[in-house]
Amino acid sequence: MSSQHALISLVARVLLSAIFITAGYQKIGGYDGTLQYMASQGVPGFMLPAVIALELGGGLAILFGLFSRWAALGLAIFSVVAALIFHTNFADQMQAVAFMKNLAIAGGLLLLFANGPGAWAVRD
């Protein structure tokens, strides 16, 4: 694997992981608000700790290249499910964009699952 390929893979992992690490951290800071939003969409609040763990843990795993294939697969599934639960009001343009964003992120995560984290990873 060339050093250029390794560098691009690392940059891709940083970019893919950033949204999940940030979202998980923000859910901790806005825990009550997140619980209310989840409840308004019919998602039970007891799932919030698991969501935070998946976003933070999966995001960090991808960032460091530690079991990143499995983290990517889990976060890809999570991204599609979240799109289907939270972003299906296509009359609202922002929700339609968020839906497509989630699908695009899932696509990038599936590429990571298929191709691995690259040479600069802790452990595939």
Residue 86: is it exposed, middle or buried by C-beta count within 10 angstroms (0-12/13-18/19+)? middle
d(CA 10, CA 8): 5
Reported as a single tens digit per residue, the pLDDT across 4-19 is 999 999 999 999 999 9
- Taking all residues of the chain, what is their mean pLDDT, rounded to a whole number? 97
pLDDT, mean of residues 84-93: 98
What is the predicted pLDDT for the residue at 59? 98
Residue 1 scores a pLDDT above 80? no
Reported as a single tens digit per residue, the pLDDT across 37-56 is 999 999 999 999 999 999 99
Number of domains in the chain: 1
Tokens describing residue 64: 């460091």
Asked, for residue 22, whether it belongs to a domain, the answer is: yes
Report the first-to-last Cα separation within the chain, whole angstroms.
Answer: 15
Asked, for residue 57, whether it belongs to a domain, the answer is: yes
Asked, for residue 40, whether it belongs to a domain, the answer is: yes
pTM: 0.96
pLDDT, mean of residues 26-44: 98
Asked, for residue 123, whether it belongs to a domain, the answer is: no
Asked, for residue 82, whether it belongs to a domain, the answer is: yes
